[in-house]
């Protein structure tokens, strides 16, 4: 088996379905010869009064469905947010954490705390506090967020546009997209077809 195949995962910390995809996504490189790239994608969500009644019903259903899936995995809190969040500070925090070798710990904490309503992912100071808990420098993150981090996030969004990304979570394998937590079995089927299963036995 040669070099691991690149597998992209576009995500946003405010997406309940990206949260559901997190744990199985982290497990994929252990089972398949893939190099998983987590790529932040900033969802633009309209608030109440800016969208149709159908969109409101869809949003309510989405959180109900996400909780239903979470309950099948033993149950963990997925509370709907009380406002529309600009998650750029948290996404830049993920880029910063990756450079410090803290991406998984940061991502697990960021998702869990946001959906317990314990972390304001639109506040750079709150993100800095989480990073400091994990052993990184809060001031270094704030400086990163004000400069290189913002530019890096924008480059990730440009890459997403090139990949025709419209939501999260979306996995991309050799140009083929798999949208949603529930498409992971289809993704794994494709990985096996490509001979990327690490231990067929």
Domain parsing of the chain, residue ranges: 5-193
The model's confidence at residue 75, banded by pLDDT at 50, 70 and 90, is confident
Q: What rounded mean pLDDT belongs to the chain?
A: 93
Distance of CA 192 to the CA centre of its chain: 24
Asked whether the predicted pLDDT for residue 169 surpasses 70, the reply is yes
pTM exceeding the 0.85 threshold for the entire prediction:
yes
User: Tell me, what's the pLDDT at 51?
Assistant: 59
Q: Would you identify the CATH topology of the domain 5-193?
A: Glutaredoxin (3.40.30)
61-75, 93-107, 132-146: segment of lowest average pLDDT:
61-75
Q: Is the peptide bond before 24 cis (omega within 30 degrees of 0)?
A: no
**Residue that has been written with the tokens 């959180």 in this structure:** 63
Mean pLDDT for 121-140 is: 98
Q: Is 200 exposed, middle or buried (0-12, 13-18, 19+ CB in 10 A)?
A: exposed
- Which of 42, 33, 34 lies closest to 10 in space, CA to CA? 42
What does R_g of the chain's alpha carbons equal in angstroms?
A: 17
Q: Are 171 and 177 a contacting pair, CB within 8 Å?
A: yes
What's the pLDDT score for residue 49? 57
Q: Are 78 and 63 contacting, i.e. CB atoms less than 8 angstroms apart?
A: yes
Give the three-state DSSP class for 64.
helix
Closest-CA residue to 106 (of 121, 122, 118, 94)? 94
Cβ neighbours for 4, distance < 8 A, ≥ 6 positions apart: 29, 33, 34, 35, 196
What would the pLDDT profile of 37-73 be if each residue is shown by its tens digit?
999 999 976 545 555 777 778 888 998 999 999 999 9
The answer to whether the beta carbons of residues 198 and 31 sit under 8 Å apart is yes
């Amino acid at each position: 088996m040669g070099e691991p195949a690149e597998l992209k995962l576009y995500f946003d910390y405010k997406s309940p379905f990206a949260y559901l995809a997190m744990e199985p996504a982290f497990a994929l490189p252990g089972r398949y010869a893939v190099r998983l790239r987590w790529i932040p994608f900033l969802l633009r969500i309209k608030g109440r009064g800016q969208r149709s009644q159908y969109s409101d019903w869809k949003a309510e259903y989405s959180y109900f469905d996400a909780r239903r899936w979470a309950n099948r995995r033993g149950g963990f809190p997925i509370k709907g947010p009380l406002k529309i969040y600009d998650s750029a500070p948290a996404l830049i925090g993920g880029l910063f954490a990756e450079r410090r070798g803290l991406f998984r710990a940061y991502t697990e904490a960021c998702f869990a705390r946001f959906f317990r309503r314990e972390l304001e992912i639109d506040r750079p100071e709150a993100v800095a506090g989480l990073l400091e808990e994990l052993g990184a420098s809060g001031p270094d993150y704030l400086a990163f967020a004000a400069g290189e981090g913002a530019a890096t996030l924008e480059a990730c969004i440009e890459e997403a546009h090139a990949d025709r990304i419209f939501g999260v979570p979306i996995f991309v394998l050799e140009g083929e997209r798999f949208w949603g937590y529930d498409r992971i079995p289809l993704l794994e089927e494709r990985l096996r077809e490509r001979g990327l299963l690490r231990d067929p036995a």
